Amino acid sequence: MAKEIERKFLVRSDAWRTEATSSADLIQAYVAVGEDRSVRVRLLDRKTARLTVKIGRNLLARDEYEYEIPVGDAEELIRAGVGTAIEKVRYNVPRDGLVWEIDVFRGAYEGLVVAEVELGSEDETPPIPVWIGREVTGDRRYSNMVMAMEGLPRELLHGLSHPTV
């Protein structure tokens, strides 16, 4: 069983851009959601696709299973998804032995920029770069699943303390 342990933060500036080593255009939708689980489909650069099952209520650490699927299947599943499809560009920023994933949202969430870092254990504390803002790990409003199913209040989207990226 795979365990996903990640912390999530708002991004306060675009200073991370000089450290980014790669990026990918992502479109993701939810096929099924429950109180403590979700099934997500994700299309990366319209070239590869993955189906992901997440189980657990804790937003810091959850069980995660991920599988490659055909792009055509992913496109069909995205069209059949529930809620709003999430569009974003994900940048990878290696730093201090970790890889920060910076999500610059497009479409319905244009203007939102969130950073995630995967950790080896729940008690690990990563060094925080200067471009990182407020931690939102436990704030369910910033969960991609919640944003897809319930939306994000406009004041949280545009009231961030970073410039538009």
Per-residue pLDDT of the chain (165 residues; tens, 9 = 90+): 578 889 999 999 999 999 999 999 999 999 999 988 999 999 999 999 999 999 987 767 889 999 999 999 999 999 999 999 999 999 999 999 999 999 999 998 998 999 999 999 989 999 999 999 999 998 988 989 999 999 877 766 654 444 433
Beta strands (DSSP E) in 12-139 are: 22-34, 37-44, 48-55, 61-69, 82-95, 98-106, 113-118, 132-135
| pTM higher than the cut 0.85 | yes
Helices within the chain (DSSP H only): 71-80, 144-150, 154-158
What gap in Å lies between CA 109 and CA 98, rounded to an integer? 26
Tokens 């069983």, located at residue: 1
Question: Both tokens of residue 32?
Answer: 């099924």
CB 26 within 8 A of CB 48: no
Question: Can you name the CATH fold of 2-158?
Answer: Hypothetical Protein Pfu-838710-001 (2.40.320)
Structure tokens at 138: 């436990």
- What is the distance between the alpha carbons of residues 63 and 77, in angstroms, rounded to a whole number? 22
Look up 65 and say whether it is catalytic: no
pLDDT the model gives residue 165: 38
Angstrom distance (rounded) from CA 150 to CA 152: 7
Which amino acid is residue 80, in one-letter code?
Answer: A
Output the pLDDT for position 61. Answer: 83
Kindly list the domain boundaries of the chain, sorted by start residue: 2-158
Q: Are 47 and 22 in contact (CB under 8 A)?
A: no
- Which entry of 30, 91, 109, 142 is annotated as an active-site residue? 30
Length of the chain: 165
Which H/E stretch holds residue 9? Answer: strand 2-11
Residue 56: predicted pLDDT = 86
